[in-house]
Each structure stands twice: as C-alpha cells, then as structure tokens.
A and B are shown apart, each in its own frame.
Chain A
Amino acid sequence: MTEVFGRRPFLVLALLAAALLVVPFLPLNDYVLHILTVFLIFSVFATGWNLTLGILGLKTLGHHAFFAIGAYLSAITAYYGGVSPWLTVWVGALSAAAAGVFIGFPILRIRSMPHVAIVTLAFAEIVRLVFSNLKDITRGELGFWGIPPFDPITVGDMTVRFGIGNAVGSFALAAVFFLAVHLALLLLLTSRTGLTFLAIRDSETAAESLGIRLSAWKLFAFGVSAAVVGLSGAVYAHYVMILTPTSTAGPEMLITLLAMIIVGGVGRFFGPIAGALLLTVLSEVLREFGDFRMLLYGLVIIVFVFVAPHGIAGLRLGRLRKAERAEPGTAGAT
C-alpha cells in the first residue's frame, strides 16, 4: 500500500497538523486565511471523492452532487428548523451518504466505466436542477443566503466565532475538520478495509475469488465517500453562508475538484491535498480572469495527464521507485 499512502502516512499527517497549528501565529491577513480555509474544505471534498475514483477505481463524475446535498440539507435544516449547525452538518453528511448508496445500486450493475461516469454526471445535473427549481425553499439561482454560521464556542474568557467574517475561528475549525476526517480515513484505509478496496480496484475477479463481496464493499465505499463529501459541503455552507445550485453542483465545481485530484494524484491518499492547495491558490490568483480560469484548469489537467499522470504525489513516488530499483534482491529470475 506504499503506492497509495507513502511509507509513513501518519507522520505526514502529523507534519500537516504541525504546519496547520503554526498558521494562526503567522502574520497572515484575513484574505489569506480565507483561501487556506477554502483549501482545507476542498481538500476533504477531494479526498472523499478520491476514495471511489482513485482508491476503489470507480470512475464516478458526480460527487459534486453529494457536496450540494450535504451543503443544502444542512443549511435548510439549520435555517428553517433553527437547529444548530453543529448538529445539522451530520444531517448533511447522512443525506449525502444515503444519496451515495441510492446511486450506488444502479452503478453496481454497470460494468463499463464510461457509462458509470455518464450516470453519475447525470445524477449531479438532476441534483442541481432540483435545488434550482425548489425556489420556495432554496431561492434557486438567486442564492440561499442567511445560512447561520457554526455557533460560537467560549473557552474561558475567549469566544471563538465562525463564519465568513471570522477568519481565524473559521480557519481553526476547518483545520480540525480536515485533520479529523483525514485521520479517520487513514485509520480506515490502512486497515483490512483499505486492502479490500485496493484488491477490488486491481482485480475484481481475483477479489471475488478470495471471498470479497464486491457489491457490499462498493456500496460501503460509495456511502463513506459521499458522506465525507457531504460533510465538506455542510461545513462549506456554514462557512460561506450563501449557496447557489450552480456554485455547488455545477460544472465549474466538477472541473475544479477533478483537476485537484488529477493534479494531486488519482489514487494517492495525500495527492488531492496537494492538488487542492495548488489549485485553490491558482484559482484566487486568476480570479480576475473570471470563467477563463476554466480554460487554464483544462490545460493544467492535460499537461498533468501527459507529463505526470500520477500527479504531484506520483512525482515523489517515482523517486521512491528509482531508489527501490537500485536496491538489489527485489526480483529474481523466472
């Protein structure tokens, strides 16, 4: 599993945690903290999607639908029900998981990966249209504003506030969320569950012959992946406090997140984090170019597919492989 996780994945996560701990003490303005907060939320989104796309090997293209479902369901429950976002984010995650299992059933019957891609893409478009047309509830493309932020936390004399105007609190919350989700997934995937996913990805026939129940495991993976993405959507909703169907389930979200995964490294655990960092920063730098940014994203994807098909994480792995080849005794004669 070195290829997926590297040699010391928990150490890498600990280093990331240390880096995130230092950030609030750096002289960074609110704008930079906002970019880092968005990066952390999108990293979780990309990692969740990578679970099915890269680690299980199912070419799904509709995970932005789960992001939208998590975001809207959490926001609607909090806004209309007056429930604390600390609770409604779980409503968002569970709704996305249920949607993942729902769409997972027909996908299990499809062997052709292009068809899996089309079905999931169509599902995302349906979700976008549903939220767009439920105008009485979501206000459609006008935007669902007034979403409450996470309730403040008081520690001693200090009150930590969240939401778009509270950069440090929001960054801290996103960092905890990022680390908790990645730690949970790392624990899950470095166990027998991770081996099972990788076995299914590498050879379904071999996996099945060993007693692995393909359908059950794929549904489980789909559910977990959708829940993680839905949770990231819910956290995003209570951070930015306004949603539109197109900004959450539209093609721009699909291309941006797909680019993050491809650039970072499909099927590499830490790849999407690197991709999310690079492209979130790039997105802000190129903001003045508006929709033309998508052209650059497309170009970046093409360049990476040809020059570094395993993404940023694969570049490092390439060096590991060279080092391994230099070590004698890994392979013998036939």
Chain B
Amino acid sequence: MLRLENIDVHYGATQVLWDVSIEVGEGEMVAVMGPNGSGKSTVLKAAMGLKKPSSGRVVLDGEELQGRSATVRPRRGMSIVLERRRLFPRMSVRENIMLGGYARPSAEAHRSFDWVLDLLPEIRPHLDATAGKLSGGQQQMVAIARGLMARPRVLLMDEPFLGLSPAMVKNVFAIMKMINGEGVAILFNEQNAKLSFAMSHRGYLLESGRVVLSGSGEEMLEHPEVKRVYLGVREAVS
C-alpha cells in the first residue's frame, strides 16, 4: 500500500539518503533499523512529506504523493507519531488528541476520539491535564492517540521507544501490536535491532543513508551481519 521508491534526500548540499526503497503492505508492521545518523527519521519524514525528496517516488495505494505537501497525507490515510512526541505542551491532553482529527469532519473526529479512548483507556483520567506536564510514557500514549485520530491505514512512528523506561517500552510495544491487530499498517524506526525485528513482519537495515539489508523480521534477526554488529553475537570459529 505504501511504497518509497529510489528516494534521495538532501539537507542543503548534503545528501542523507541514497536510493532508498521501502515497502509497507496492507496491515504489515515494518521496521527501519539503523544506528544514529543513518537517516531513519528522514525516511519517515520523506514518506510523510515533511522532507521533500530530491528524487524518487512516494506512492500510497497507487497515488503519487512525493510532490504534495504533508497536509495531504492525513486525508489519504497516513499519520505520523513524531520523534520525542512533539505534543503541544501547553494544551490539554484532550486538545492535543482532538487536533489529531484536524483533517476529518467534526462529527467523524468526535467518533475517532471515542474509538481512540476505547483503545487507550489509560489516557482518560488525564484528558484535562496539560500535556507538557505528563510523564514521558504518558506523553507517548497521547502522541499515539493523536496519530490514531486520523483513522490512518498506515501509521508512521519515529523512534516510539526513545527515552522510555523498560516497563513503558513493553507497554508501547503491546499497544503497537494491538493497533496493528486493528488492521493499521505501521512503519516505525528504532535503534534496537532485537526489538525492531522481533515485532515486525519485515525489516530494513539502514546504514549511512542506504538500505544495506532487508527481509522478514525473522530473516533479519538471523542474518550474521545483524547478529554480529547489532546483537553482539559472535559466530563460532570453525
């Protein structure tokens, strides 16, 4: 349903992505894994239209989106949970979530709001709290709720576990599984190889702005290079 084809991205004169191609199928969970500075976030920004690719195509259900602004995506069924949540800190939780339904008609947004709260009931007691005062984990819940308000078919998640405690990582992980179980495809990026590939149908390994490896989650976990470099497993010397 979502395809990034041969994407190049530049920041000024500096190229950060080279010929990146990534595909997310209907209802799939897809991970983009890589070290710091490998271009993972830029992949998601290019997909969402927040960073314009210098070449290549972004195709959602056959419609080319690469030349169109980010504001079109939520109306086409795409949504993003940004890195470090990027909540509107001085607004209430309710206002933050409602803004997630900005691209939808008011009645539909109110229905989405009920649906989101049914999915994430732990948010309900904090609806009138100021978003910036919540803990990191609670803010991540709100960010996910805001992302779901557009009722996306593809949800992009930029470093969803960043800065969270191990317990909260487990919680967010479970929520991602649950959302995916609702039929929402998820494209996310993460630095932790084990976490990324264990939970995804498919994965991509990004290094210095290039896709160097791709395959199913299992294949990625079993790949010797991933094991050696990212999981710290040494091959037995024969």
- Measuring CB to CB, which residues of chain A are less than 8 angstroms from any residue of chain B? 1-4, 195-196, 198-199, 202-203, 205-206, 208-213, 324, 329-334
Contacts and interface: CB of A to CB of B under 8 A. Distances in A.
Interface of B: 48, 50, 69-75, 79-80, 82, 86-92, 95, 98-100, 102-103, 125-126, 129-130, 133-138, 146, 150, 164-165, 168
Given A203-B86, A334-B168, A208 B136 contact: no
Contacts of B86: 203, 205-206
30 contacts: A1-B95, A2-B92, A3-B90, A195-B99, A196-B99, A196-B102, A198-B90, A199-B91, A203-B88, A206-B82, A206-B86, A206-B87, A208-B50, A208-B70, A209-B74, A209-B80, A210-B100, A210-B102, A210-B150, A211-B71, A211-B73, A212-B102, A324-B130, A324-B133, A329-B125, A331-B129, A331-B133, A332-B138, A333-B137, A334-B135
Contacts of B91: 1, 195, 198-199, 202
Nearest to B146: A210
A195 B86 CA distance: 15
B71 A198 contact: no
Contacts of B137: 332-334
Contacts of B95: 1, 195
Contacts of A206: 82, 86-88
Nearest to B48: A209
A195 B91 CA distance: 8
A205 B50 contact: yes
Q: Closest 9 A-B residue pairs measured CB to CB?
A: A211-B103, A211-B74, A206-B86, A202-B88, A334-B135, A334-B137, A334-B136, A210-B102, A208-B70
B134 A212 contact: no
A330 B103 contact: no
B99 A333 contact: no
B82 A209 contact: yes
Nearest to B149: A210
Given A203-B88, A211-B70, 19 more contacts: A1-B95, A3-B130, A195-B95, A202-B89, A202-B90, A203-B86, A209-B73, A209-B74, A209-B79, A210-B102, A211-B75, A213-B69, A324-B130, A330-B130, A330-B134, A331-B134, A331-B138, A334-B165, A334-B168
A12 B103 CA distance: 33
B129 A330 contact: yes
Nearest to A332: B135
B59 to A, nearest CB: 19
A199 B135 contact: no
Interface centre among B71, B126, B133, B168 (most CB of A within 10 A): B71
A216 to B, nearest CB: 9
A4 B92 CA distance: 12
A158 to B, nearest CB: 47
A251 to B, nearest CB: 32
Nearest to B74: A211
A333 B88 contact: no
Nearest to B96: A199
Nearest to B129: A330
Nearest to B100: A210
Contact of B102 (A203, A211, A330, A334): A211
Contacts of B103: 210-211
A205 B70 CA distance: 9
Given A203-B86, A205-B82, A211 B135 contact: no
Contact of B71 (A3, A4, A213, A330): A213
Nearest to B81: A209
B82 A212 contact: no
Contacts of A198: 88, 90-91
Contacts of A2: 92, 130
B135 A333 contact: yes
Contacts of A1: 91-92, 95
